[in-house]
Chain A
Amino acid sequence: MIEQKRMPTASMGALFQRLKAGGWRIVAPRAAGDTVTFGEIESPDEMATGLVQTTLSSKSVVFPMWEELFRFRHGESGAEFRDVDEAIMPTAVVGLRPCDARAMQALHAVFTWDSQDEPYLRRRGRIALLGLSCAQADDCCFCTSVDGGPGDATGSDLLLTALGDDYLVEVVSDRGRELAALAGDLLVAGADVDKAAYLATVPVRFDAARLSTGLSKAFDREELWLEQSLRCLGCGACAYVCPTCACFDIQDEANRHGGARVRCWDSCGFSLFTLHTSGHNPREMQSQRWRQRIMHKFAYMPERLQVVGCVGCGRCSRACPVDMNLAEHLNAIVESVA
């Protein structure tokens, strides 16, 4: 049961103070020129405003761009290993969009599928998500085509919706109740509003059921994948801005004395991604890599993890240097195969 409260917009600063007093550090959208990323801030004044979507998603809070897994060195009696014993502060992510909060479920499914990913779980256990509903959307948004929505509470602990002078505050989870208790008298009763009137309109851009049927028959449609991917440059921009892409590369950063094993974001769009030591590459052509990207998110993840690997945030379409508009491509798959 989602409890509904109100909070005056002007109380955001006070909410920050109470969260911080409760031991939470605050991470929120921050602008550097036209680029908006999630970073630690002290007060709501530092938050980027008026945006449809942040440039990068909030996934780095649980899955950083790169992180050390363990350290090693040549010791007196051979190799010595040391766990990375990084203290992880409880982190409240404020102002992420409902799609980003929903994306955390897809990430969770990936990182707890066949093994329990410790570095991820360490972080995941210490975050709270204070989502902010969308009052505006653009041509790249398609959350409503993948079960989400501009006011979707899934994944958020608290979901805020701007009502003008007030926020509607929905208390979604146990962690949300913990935060609501910290907020105390900042939250007041009387939330009887039609939330939908304050939300952006996001049109459904493709039929998810038909896409699913279509993809089950699309693997061998080589011409389709080629036609779609000819202009793809094979960079990693789409994967790196994606809130659900979870592939990583393991590297050793070392000198002759020792070093660290690290993992870094990776992308299935790179030709190197599947290159074998033998020289054989099972996904030699960009069309095969594009197919993998689509199939992974919209066929393999739903089949194996019961979660769609896309939340319709539209970032890949915005970031793509050659305008590989994802919703448009998915629609084309539906039209030509389903």
Chain B
Amino acid sequence: MSALHDTARQLLESGTAAVVIGYGEGTAGSARPLFVRDAARAGELVFDERCVHNLSVYLLKPEVKALGKAAIVGQPATLRSILQLASEQQVKEGDVIVLLPETEGGVRQIGSFAEIEEAVSEADAQLSPEEKACLDEIAALPRVDRWRFWQQEFTRCLKCYACRAACPLCYCAQCIVEVNQPQWIPVPPHPLGNMDWHLVRAMHLAGRCIGCGECARACPVDIPLNLLNQVIEEEISGQFGAHAGLSASASYALSTFTTGDKDTFIR
């Protein structure tokens, strides 16, 4: 931990970074996002298995951008969303310094997209065995039961938009739910409004979701939204061989055409 503290302190003291976005102690033994702007407070940073938030969500927030250059404590999901954001021209090379705590206790400091690409691997893009089992279980259901499963889950939705707020890839300045001429998505949290919202959100993340699971973790009523995105991710990686968040220069599978694309879906 002391290497992380030292690195953060030095970045802030030298003015190389204006803020270090990392993790600190939270309520009842949990860890929470922590913004360190004062070098004297670098010692409050922690990094262990409790640190689950994908902090890259903060990089595009105007309040955080206004602070100046950020250094961010990275883990695989954070790195992958930075790369995905880079491929969507939302983060520029040099915008952010990534701090990678290493198992031996050191901290690697990287900044270029090439270095970030090197630090992530295709293995990071695979579903965990638990996620895979969960998806398989739902996939094994008859279509009508799958529909019912999601209807049931969406019944609880409050439309608090915590899923959207916690998602690093949900960065639209005007979200489609806020467009009211025409009103694409009903505002009330009734069954139709909720179904519309979650299906549209899943589609907007198709091929872009890096599978960090923040949407599900943020949901106050425990809707497993990550599964919806993961099944689409499986579909897209299967069809196009593309995983989101592995390259800063990737082109988006669903808006790219190459002559080698399969056209077997045209019947």
Flag if A323 contacts B30 (CB, 8 Å): yes
Chain B positions 138 through 167: 1 when the CB is less than 8 Å from some CB of chain A, otherwise 0: 000000000000000000101111101110
Chain B positions 104 through 145: 1 when the CB is less than 8 Å from some CB of chain A, otherwise 0: 000000000000000000000000000000000000000000
A267 contacts across to B, CB distance below 8 A: 160
**Is A264 among interface residues, defined by CB-CB distance under 8 A?**
yes
Chain A positions 30 through 61: 1 when the CB is less than 8 Å from some CB of chain B, otherwise 0: 00111101000000000000000001100000
B3-57 contacts to A, CB under 8 A, are: 26-28, 30, 32-35, 53, 57
B53 contacts across to A, CB distance below 8 A: 321-322
What would be 13 A-B contacts, judged by CB atoms less than 8 Å apart? A34-B222, A35-B221, A56-B158, A139-B27, A235-B164, A240-B160, A240-B220, A251-B187, A262-B188, A272-B178, A287-B63, A317-B27, A321-B217
B64 contacts across to A, CB distance below 8 A: 230
Nearest residue (CB) in A for B158 is A240
B187 contacts across to A, CB distance below 8 A: 66, 249, 251, 253, 262, 264
Q: Which of B32, B164, B217 contacts A231 (CB 8 A)?
A: B32
Nearest residue (CB) in A for B31 is A323
**Is A319 among interface residues, defined by CB-CB distance under 8 A?**
yes
Binding site for B on A (CB under 8 A): 32-35, 37, 55-56, 65-66, 138-140, 226-227, 229-231, 233-237, 239-241, 249, 251, 253, 262, 264-265, 267, 270, 272, 285-287, 317, 319, 321-323, 325, 328
The answer for the CA separation of A249 and B183 in the assembled complex, in Å, is 14
B188 contacts across to A, CB distance below 8 A: 65-66, 251, 253, 262, 264
Chain B positions 201 through 225: 1 when the CB is less than 8 Å from some CB of chain A, otherwise 0: 0000000000000100110111000
Q: 16 extra interchain contacts, Cβ-Cβ under 8 A, other than A239-B160, A323-B27?
A: A233-B162, A233-B165, A234-B165, A235-B165, A237-B220, A253-B186, A253-B188, A262-B187, A264-B159, A264-B189, A270-B161, A287-B63, A322-B53, A323-B32, A325-B26, A325-B27
A230 contacts across to B, CB distance below 8 A: 35, 58, 63-64
| With known contacts A33-B222, A35-B156, A285-B62, A235–B161 Cβ distance under 8 A | yes
- Distance from A292 Cβ to chain B, minimum over Cβ atoms (Å): 15
Q: Which of B34, B61, B166, B222 contacts A321 (CB 8 A)?
A: B166
The answer for the CA separation of A234 and B165 in the assembled complex, in Å, is 6
B28 contacts across to A, CB distance below 8 A: 138-139
- Distance from A150 Cβ to chain B, minimum over Cβ atoms (Å): 18
* A-B interface contact total, Cβ < 8 Å: 110
A286 contacts across to B, CB distance below 8 A: 61, 63
- Distance from A2 Cβ to chain B, minimum over Cβ atoms (Å): 34
B57 contacts across to A, CB distance below 8 A: 233
Nearest residue (CB) in A for B152 is A32
The answer for the CA separation of A287 and B58 in the assembled complex, in Å, is 14
Q: Which of B32, B62, B156 contacts A322 (CB 8 A)?
A: B32
B217 contacts across to A, CB distance below 8 A: 321
| With known contacts A65-B189, A253-B188, A237–B162 Cβ distance under 8 A | yes
Nearest residue (CB) in A for B192 is A253
The answer for the CA separation of A317 and B30 in the assembled complex, in Å, is 12
The answer for the CA separation of A309 and B32 in the assembled complex, in Å, is 26
A234 contacts across to B, CB distance below 8 A: 61, 165
A272 contacts across to B, CB distance below 8 A: 178
**Is B69 among interface residues, defined by CB-CB distance under 8 A?**
no
| With known contacts A229-B63, A249-B187, A322–B158 Cβ distance under 8 A | no
A287 contacts across to B, CB distance below 8 A: 63
B62 contacts across to A, CB distance below 8 A: 285
B33 contacts across to A, CB distance below 8 A: 231, 322-323
A249 contacts across to B, CB distance below 8 A: 187
The answer for the CA separation of A230 and B220 in the assembled complex, in Å, is 20
- Distance from B187 Cβ to chain A, minimum over Cβ atoms (Å): 5
- Distance from A138 Cβ to chain B, minimum over Cβ atoms (Å): 7
B165 contacts across to A, CB distance below 8 A: 233-235, 321
Q: Which of B57, B156, B188 has the most CB of A within 10 A?
A: B188
Flag if B35 contacts A231 (CB, 8 Å): yes
B179-196 contacts to A, CB under 8 A, are: 183, 186-190
